[in-house]
Amino acid sequence: MGRREARGADNDRRSERGPRTDSNRSERDDRSSRDGGSGPREGGFRPRDNEFDKRFSDEQREDSRDRRVGKFKQAPDYNKERPTKPGFDKKGPGKRFDKPKGDFTDKKPKSDRDLEREDRDPSGLIRLNRYIANAGVCSRREADELISRGDITVNGNVVTEMGYKVQPTDMVKYGKTTLNPEKLVYLLLNKPKDYLTTTEDPEERKTVMELVADAGNFRIYPVGRLDRNTTGLLLMTNDGELADKLTHPSNNIRKIYQVELDKPITEEHFEAIQSGIELEDGFIKPDDLGLVTPDAQVVGIEIHSGRNRIVRRIFEHFGYEVAKLDRTVYATLNKKELPRGKWRFLEPKEVIKLKYLS
């Protein structure tokens, strides 16, 4: 781990906005993550826009818009850049469908609004082929071939009927994969302090959702968690499959933190942490450890464990108080051109790299 990565947080202090204060808000650390939020259900529909318009005020949306950086003003179409999924074609992995039979040349293309009106009825049903296309599997015409071949199941039953419609509560699968028809969105936030990593808080304290209020009317949620007073990189998405992959302990996702202590760390304690220590919930050994400043008061630590408050507990074990904790690297993502309190949409190539992490 180079000092440059861990030192990245130093530049953020100049651009960090001062947190708003509210004497009626509790100072307790946040213990909740997406488990307490409103993440997308498997097979659930993208909610109508007005369902989420009430979540944030115009002022919050304007503030979030000012915080957005990067080249995308709205979520890009990540499906255009996705790799071809294995098993798409009976001829072999990685190959596309043959064109469906029939004369489509004389048919005038319909607008998305026209298709939406056709596919939905007043009860909220949607055509199965559009459901599959919205999930990013393939086009609507290719979805018709999947259906006719018997590759799609609804609530465990194979459906081959053209024009079949599904309900929001239906479980639609392509092979063993459960489909989510909501447009997938991925964004990266450089979290400031004093914000809770949760989708909502019953005590109405500030949450990270306010900072990304202008991301669009998608049911996104934080991947993992950062304590209320911890700053740094936080990935947010509605891609449940990727979120599960990044948070599962077996995948050993790389995370680098810059830790500012209340006093210089001794050589004895530094070497003890390097070798690994026994905490109340088990043994922990960082992947790498280094001094960021000559006074030995700022330490960089690379770790893949997702255990609760693990970095703070490592140093508290030796009697140190963590004055500041900042996450500078998460998986393949870093803080380059992302000042504190700002957010951006991920580029499609960044999403591909995340999905191919082993």
DSSP secondary structure, 142-203, as one string: HHHHHHHTT-EEETTEE---TT-EE-TT--EEETTEEP--SPP-EEEEEEPTT-BSSS--TT
320 within domain boundaries: yes
Please give the Cα distance from 5 to 7 (Å, whole number). 5
Instruction: Pull the structure tokens for residue 32.
Output: 């909740």
> How far, in whole angstroms, is CA 325 from its chain's centroid?
21
22 within domain boundaries: no
Strands 288-291 and 298-303, how do they pair?
antiparallel
Please give the Cα distance from 135 to 239 (Å, whole number). 10
Same domain (yes/no): 331, 302: yes
Active-site pick, 144, 151, 214, 227:
227
Same domain (yes/no): 230, 116: no
Same domain (yes/no): 191, 245: yes
pLDDT tens digit string along 305-355? 989 999 999 999 999 999 999 999 999 999 999 999 999 999 999 999 998
What CATH number has the domain bearing residue 113?
3.10.290.10
227 is an active site residue:
yes
Find the domain containing 273 and state its range: 3-17+27-73+184-355
Put simply, whether the predicted model's pTM sits higher than 0.75 gets the answer no
pLDDT tens digit string along 6-61? 445 444 544 444 444 444 433 334 433 434 333 333 333 333 344 455 778 999 99
From residue 337, give the alpha-carbon distance in Å to each of 19, 74, 215, 349: 21, 18, 18, 17
Phi, psi of 300 (to 5 degrees): -105, 135
Same domain (yes/no): 189, 84: no
Please give the Cα distance from 9 to 298 (Å, whole number). 11
The one-digit pLDDT tens for each residue of the chain (358 residues) are 654 454 454 445 444 444 444 444 333 344 334 343 333 333 333 333 444 557 789 999 999 999 999 999 999 988 765 544 444 444 333 334 444 444 434 445 544 445 445 545 556 788 998 888 777 677 788 889 999 999 999 999 999 999 999 986 788 999 888 887 777 899 999 999 999 999 989 999 999 999 999 998 888 999 988 999 999 999 999 888 889 889 988 888 999 999 999 999 999 999 999 999 999 999 999 999 999 999 999 999 999 998 999 999 999 999 999 999 999 999 999 999 999 999 999 999 999 999 888 6
Q: Looking at this protein, which amino acid is placed at residue 295?
A: D
Cβ proximity of 253 and 327 under 8 Å: no
